[in-house]
Chains A and B, each alone.
Chain A
Amino acid sequence: AQSVTQLDSHVSVSEGTPVLLRCNYSSSYSPSLFWYVQHPNKGLQLLLKYTSAATLVKGINGFEAEFKKSETSFHLTKPSAHMSDAAEYFCVVFSGGYNKLIFGAGTRLAVHP
């Protein structure tokens, strides 16, 4: 089976502090992994993707994620949060064996001044 678990439904940080959004996956096949961001009343936008190349992936707006096979994790990080980062973030897994995209339940990031 294939699944993805976002470990925190809400994360709150102060502006200028690091961001960590946690994601664990399960797949019997080698997965591709993605992070999407959704700002209020907007569609989802791809932040970054891992597709079996470098395990540390850099995305837009200073975000990056590291694929750790031994921990089945793909956590999203950013060194310094900005107010504009406040949004919902979704971790997504795909594997060719299942040929389906599975979305996590999302993590809502709040950024305080």
Chain B
Amino acid sequence: EAGVAQSPRYKIIEKRQSVAFWCNPISGHATLYWYQQILGQGPKLLIQFQNNGVVDDSQLPKDRFSAERLKGVDSTLKIQPAKLEDSAVYLCASRRTSGSPGELFFGEGSRLTVL
């Protein structure tokens, strides 16, 4: 089966600019996650979707970050305006409905550098 697809793989922007990342999960996976991984740290959950509904967005900085999964398939994460501390790898992951809560399939990530 095809894996989790993410784009772009790399993005460099200046602070206060905006950026969007796209994720296409594995076909049939109802649960989709966006994680932020800052260099030297473990991934931190930003938002979790179940189909097109938000399950957990408690750690999403809602003043600048937004995410949507309109048709319950692919998803977009947006940052506007970006800050220097947003420099990180943004990981998308998906999980099959019958899978264990910790059994996630990750994409290769989108690396953001904010100058």
Contacts and interface: CB of A to CB of B under 8 A. Distances in A.
Nearest to B42: A103
Interface string B77-115: 000000000000001010000001111111111000000
A41 B108 CA distance: 7
Contacts of B56: 99-100
Interface residues of A, number: 22
Given A32-B100, A51-B100, A101-B102, A43 B45 contact: no
A44 B102 contact: no
Among B40, B42, B93, B101, residue most surrounded by chain A Cβ atoms (within 10 Å): B42
Contacts of A45: 106
B42 A32 contact: no
Contact of B91 (A33, A44, A106): A44
Interface in B35-93: 40-45, 56, 91, 93
Contacts of A94: 101-102
B110 to A, nearest CB: 11
A104 B45 CA distance: 12
Contacts, number: 54
Nearest to A106: B42
B32 interface: no
A53 to B, nearest CB: 11
A32 B101 contact: yes
B41 to A, nearest CB: 6
Sorted nearest first, the 8 A-B pairs with minimum C-beta distance are A103-B42, A43-B106, A44-B106, A34-B102, A94-B102, A43-B108, A94-B101, A103-B43
Given A44-B91, A101-B104, 6 more contacts: A32-B102, A42-B108, A43-B4, A44-B93, A99-B101, A101-B45
Interface of B: 3-4, 40-45, 56, 91, 93, 100-109
